[in-house]
């Protein structure tokens, strides 16, 4: 029963719980067992989790079962366990953001999305691994060791949310939360054969999300199906008075859109292929699966046209100016004074606060974080603001205008999610620019604040690894991508004879359960 439970979707599990064929304790335990079996630690296994909270999850599961028995479940997903990216504050559970500088920090408060999970009765299995402060596309920049791609443990699971995506692909959790600043939900989804959604900016509260780039960050669902994403998105989304950038208006039902899409009829839907986000620079197998998916959309009745968004070629450069500026300021608070790591400089008697700040920030931040802090400090420093941050904000306007013009012509825009399948661990670690190119196709959505989804489009012929299909919709029209995504998913499942993840290799059992920092105990 245990193995079966971990392979079911969240929607299936919710139905099982509602039908009384399983209990939250049983399925939470099943996932904890799976984590213990395959997650391993920094040196082996998937290493999707930085912290597993078996006790807390089982207590929440027991409480859920009691509610269920009393006939008053707190939500449709009451009792379905979930994993949370370690960049979201969880009261009483360590939150490190994948950084040494926050080692051991236990927040005294919950992020709004986490509070909503708890209120809805979802047991939290633990915190998932990530690139340090969400800076990276491979999860190799985690201070606690990389996460490995369940499809091939020699390869990266994408980033920054590689932990959440890998946990889904390894059947360690039926649901996870991720965050997406330039593609950190969607690109890991693409390379692990899972589904990930970046909602409209302001659609999901950022309160309690440790910010990398506040004007780009969004929290979103990481799942194995489009419907599961819709269920989780609806649960955590909606206005939050604690987030000033939160949108205070009702969204169309996402679950309804996903259900309608799964019926397979897309007649009347106009789909635009973004000229600038495919072809050259995209791996042949990724491109091939993308084109096949387009054919399936046509078959479902959609009208597919090509749309040009000429300024998208500047998106990457724009992103790498805005993001470091905001990040350099956001990360200033990690200074050894109030929480987190405090490192005393070597060979200094009675060091000053400033010396302790410097020593701590050198010891506590990794290379990529330092690169971005220095870059942001440079771009904001006097004399450069207009040339860099100011210019980037103006190009951002042009990118938003390209989106607006495109959405005059089509209902959704599509592209491959990432230009390649998962690359080898270490392959791009010392070439920041090559690493940044992974986010080429996902970044425009963040800059314009529009929603984006990635779902699996199949396996690339040359390496047998998953490729992703990206769907973008206008701001606040998240329902459109759920409809189109669910239709495509249904058609693909029919072609494959089941979900793509059924083809993933079995994972070898690991030596022991993971401890707080993911090391084998």
Q: Which residues are catalytically annotated?
A: 85, 160, 184
365 binds other proteins (CB under 8 A): yes
56 phi/psi in degrees, rounded to 5? -65, -40
Sign of the dihedral defined by the CA atoms of residues 107, 109, 110, 115, in that order: positive
CB nearer to other proteins: pick between 475 and 501: 475
- Cis amide bond preceding 298, omega within 30: no
Nearest in space to 504 (alpha carbons), one of 468, 465, 457, 449: 465
Residues 217-236 that bind other proteins (CB under 8 A): none
CB nearer to other proteins: pick between 329 and 517: 329
164 binds other proteins (CB under 8 A): no
CB of 418 to other proteins, least distance (A): 19
Report how many residues bind other proteins under the rule CB under 8 A: 96
CB nearer to other proteins: pick between 321 and 500: 321
CB nearer to other proteins: pick between 4 and 367: 367
Read off the tokens for 67: 């509610």
Q: How far apart, in whole angstroms, are the C-alpha atoms of residue 148 and residue 435?
A: 17
109 binds other proteins (CB under 8 A): yes
373 binds other proteins (CB under 8 A): yes
183 binds other proteins (CB under 8 A): no
CB nearer to other proteins: pick between 171 and 319: 319
User: Could you give the strand order of the β-sheet that contains 466-472, starting from the edge strand earlier in sequence?
Assistant: 49-52, 124-128, 82-85, 176-180, 218-223, 195-198, 452-459, 466-472, 412-416, 270-274, 303-307
Name the residue with tokens 């793509």: 500
CB of 214 to other proteins, least distance (A): 4
144 binds other proteins (CB under 8 A): no
Residues 250-289 that bind other proteins (CB under 8 A): none
CB nearer to other proteins: pick between 53 and 217: 217
Q: How far apart, in whole angstroms, are the C-alpha atoms of residue 162 and residue 47?
A: 10
Q: How far apart, in whole angstroms, are the C-alpha atoms of residue 192 and residue 500?
A: 10
CB of 335 to other proteins, least distance (A): 6
Report H helices in 352-510.
353-364, 367-380, 391-409, 432-436, 443-448, 478-496
CB nearer to other proteins: pick between 30 and 343: 343
Q: How far apart, in whole angstroms, are the C-alpha atoms of residue 63 and residue 71?
A: 13
- One residue of 305, 353, 509, 521 binding other proteins per CB under 8 A: 353
- One residue of 247, 255, 300, 302 binding other proteins per CB under 8 A: 247
CB nearer to other proteins: pick between 275 and 393: 393
Q: How far is the first Cα of the chain from the last one, in angstroms, to the nearest whole number?
A: 27
Site map 189..208 versus other proteins, x via CB under 8 A: -----------xxx---xxx
Q: How far apart, in whole angstroms, are the C-alpha atoms of residue 359 and residue 342?
A: 8
355 binds other proteins (CB under 8 A): yes
242 binds other proteins (CB under 8 A): yes
Looking at the DSSP assignment, which residues form a beta bridge with residue 178? 220
CB of 111 to other proteins, least distance (A): 6
Name the residue with tokens 């920092």: 517
- One residue of 260, 270, 358, 493 binding other proteins per CB under 8 A: 358
Q: Encode 71-117 in three state secondary structure.
A: CCCCCCCCCCCEEEECCECECCECCCCCCHHHCCCCCCCCCHHHHHH
214 binds other proteins (CB under 8 A): yes
434 binds other proteins (CB under 8 A): no
- One residue of 154, 252, 378, 462 binding other proteins per CB under 8 A: 378
Number of H helices, E strands in the chain: 17, 11
Residues 383-412 that bind other proteins (CB under 8 A): 385, 387-398, 400
- One residue of 30, 60, 467, 475 binding other proteins per CB under 8 A: 475
Residues 297-326 that bind other proteins (CB under 8 A): 311, 314, 317-318, 320-321, 325-326
CB of 364 to other proteins, least distance (A): 9
CB 73 within 8 A of CB 204: no
Stretch of 54-62, 121-129, 332-340, 416-424 lying at the interface with other proteins (CB under 8 A): 332-340
78 binds other proteins (CB under 8 A): no
């Amino acid at each position: 029963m245990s193995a079966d439970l971990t392979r079911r979707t969240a929607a299936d599990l919710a139905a099982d719980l509602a039908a009384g064929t399983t209990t939250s304790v049983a399925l939470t335990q099943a996932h904890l067992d799976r984590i213990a079996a395959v997650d391993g630690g920094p040196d082996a296994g998937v290493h999707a989790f930085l912290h597993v909270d078996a006790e807390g999850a089982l207590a929440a599961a027991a409480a859920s079962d009691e509610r269920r028995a009393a006939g008053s479940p707190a939500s449709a997903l009451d009792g379905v366990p979930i994993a949370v990216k370690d960049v979201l504050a969880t009261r009483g559970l360590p939150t490190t953001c994948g950084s040494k500088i926050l080692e051991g920090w236990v927040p005294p408060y919950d992020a709004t999305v986490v509070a909503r999970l708890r209120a809805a009765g979802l047991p939290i299995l633990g915190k998932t691994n990530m690139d340090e402060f969400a800076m990276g596309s491979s999860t190799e920049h985690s201070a606690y060791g990389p996460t490995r791609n369940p499809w091939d443990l020699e390869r990266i699971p994408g980033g920054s949310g590689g932990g959440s995506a890998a946990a889904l692909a390894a059947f360690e959790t039926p649901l996870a939360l991720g965050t997406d600043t330039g593609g950190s939900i969607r690109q890991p989804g693409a390379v692990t054969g899972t589904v990930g959604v970046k909602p409209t900016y302001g659609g999901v509260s950022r309160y309690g999300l440790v910010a990398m780039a506040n004007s780009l960050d969004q929290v979103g669902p990481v799942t194995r199906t489009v419907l599961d994403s819709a269920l989780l998105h609806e649960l955590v989304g909606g206005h939050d008075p604690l987030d000033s950038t939160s949108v205070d208006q009702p969204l169309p039902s996402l679950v309804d859109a996903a259900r309608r899409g799964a019926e397979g009829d897309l007649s009347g839907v106009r789909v635009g292929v973004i000229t600038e986000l495919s072809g050259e620079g995209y791996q042949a197998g990724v491109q091939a699966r993308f084109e096949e998916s387009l054919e399936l959309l046509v078959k479902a009745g959609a009208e597919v046209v090509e749309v040009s968004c000429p300024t998208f070629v500047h998106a990457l450069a724009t992103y790498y100016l805005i993001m470091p500026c905001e990040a350099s300021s956001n990360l200033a608070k990690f200074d050894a004074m109030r929480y987190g790591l405090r490192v005393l400089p070597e060979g200094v008697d009675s060091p000053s606060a400033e010396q302790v700040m410097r020593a701590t920030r050198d010891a506590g931040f990794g290379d990529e974080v330092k690169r971005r802090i220095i870059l942001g400090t440079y771009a904001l420093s006097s004399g450069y603001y207009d040339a860099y941050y100011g210019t980037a904000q103006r190009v951002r306007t042009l990118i938003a205008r390209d989106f607006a013009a495109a959405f005059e012509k089509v209902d959704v825009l599509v592209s491959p999610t990432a230009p390649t399948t998962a690359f080898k661990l270490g392959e791009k670690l010392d070439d920041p620019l090559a690493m940044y190119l992974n986010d080429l196709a996902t970044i425009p959505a963040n800059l314009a604040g529009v929603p984006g989804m990635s779902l699996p489009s199949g396996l690339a012929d040359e390496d047998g690894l998953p490729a992703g299909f990206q769907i973008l919709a206008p701001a606040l029209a998240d329902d459109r991508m759920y409809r189109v995504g669910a239709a495509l998913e249904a058609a693909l499942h029919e072609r494959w004879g089941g979900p793509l993840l059924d083809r993933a290799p079995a994972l070898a059992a690991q030596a022991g359960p993971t401890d707080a920092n993911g090391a084998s105990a």
